[in-house]
Chains A and B, each alone.
Chain A
């Protein structure tokens, strides 16, 4: 367990030292939610209604934006070869690695959602609901991005390929997480149900996707 903790901590530290930590995804997220109103127009009703969904979508894009880093570097420098040889079990290592890097880089997103809620004129309660749903969705999003990232590791221009592979897999998380915010805005009592569904999809991916990531890593190591 402590060894898994060490992998987790290594990934978190690497995310800070090598790639600027949470700055990249946070800045991307902020840019996306700043540009969206310029595209759809300044009408306050429209923005408040579209806000939760837009922010959920922008959060998904910022996870994809940083997905290339998850497995690309460790594939080319041989770290993954060592992981595959370790007696710890590759799937556990991949789980610790992906979550370590994902949580270290993506934790500001729920906080920025609260800020975005103010910008879009979304009331506080649905904003909080969306922030909670996004926090619950981050493990699922980052693991799915990790699966796509492991499949496409070391490929030239892998960012595009990762986005194409991961997007269909992120459909359920996007529906439930953004749905929590939307239903909250509409005063629908299903907001809580959406939040719980987001958390359950996240738990399901934590249980299943590490095996997929391990299989993907092995298939690429040849």
Chain B
């Protein structure tokens, strides 16, 4: 299937149809999800209305990780099979994932203030999400720094795959590190079981975020292809103009 859609024209045909569908789904699901999380779900018995931050926070954190998995998967496909589309996907996914990571950190901070009494807590999970943001930034900086597109693609793929191994080890080491601290004295909210009145809005919001991310990815992939085509046409025009000039020059 992948090699089928690696033909740019076929992919363009697919993207043209998929983009509006994803857009409509995103708006619809976000509408329902936001309604449910504000009005359709009860306030928490402990946290009151601040629990509603969960509906924007947890899906963002989930997307931050899922998009990194997608980035690494696309990089792997590019590294092994050299599909140009896989590299385009990796390039396009990175900034979207970084924005979701910032969103997760930001909403988490807003939630932490009323719940734990602090904007930031150096606990294992938050620290590893912060490291994830650094990994995204490093990936984007490397790609931006390498001028040769082929080199940028391959070096980026190597870095993105190494990042997976790194993030797993970081997760374990940060757990060890925060267990060296004294246990946090703030109240911890770790609901292993979640009531269905909260699960529904959360699930719909997670689905809405997924659609939003997919929409953005397809949209950016298509606009990237359009930009490339425009550059090609420009280059050809320039070449034609130069050729015309040189024949004129030789004629005179």
Contacts and interface: CB of A to CB of B under 8 A. Distances in A.
Interface string B148-187: 1011001101110011011001101110110010000000
B157 A165 contact: no
Contacts of B137: 164
Interface string A193-207: 000010001000000
Nearest to B131: A168
A71 interface: no
B8 interface: no
Contacts of B154: 218-220, 222
B174 A164 contact: no
Interface residues of A, number: 31
Contacts, number: 79
Given A152-B142, A165-B138, A165-B142, A216 B173 contact: no
Nearest to B152: A219
B179 to A, nearest CB: 9
Interface majority SS (helix, strand, loop, mixed), chain B: helix
A179 interface: yes
Given A152-B145, A164-B138, A164-B141, A190 B155 contact: no
A220 B151 contact: yes
Contacts of B138: 161, 164-165, 167-168
Contacts of A61: none
Interface in A174-190: 175-176, 179, 182-183, 188, 190
Interface of B: 131, 134-135, 137-138, 141-142, 145-146, 148, 150-151, 154-155, 157-159, 162-163, 165-166, 169-170, 172-174, 176-177, 180
8 contacts: A151-B155, A168-B134, A172-B170, A172-B172, A197-B176, A201-B173, A208-B165, A216-B158
Interface of A: 147, 151-152, 155-156, 158, 161, 164-165, 167-169, 171-172, 175-176, 179, 182-183, 188, 190, 197, 201, 208, 212, 215-216, 218-220, 222
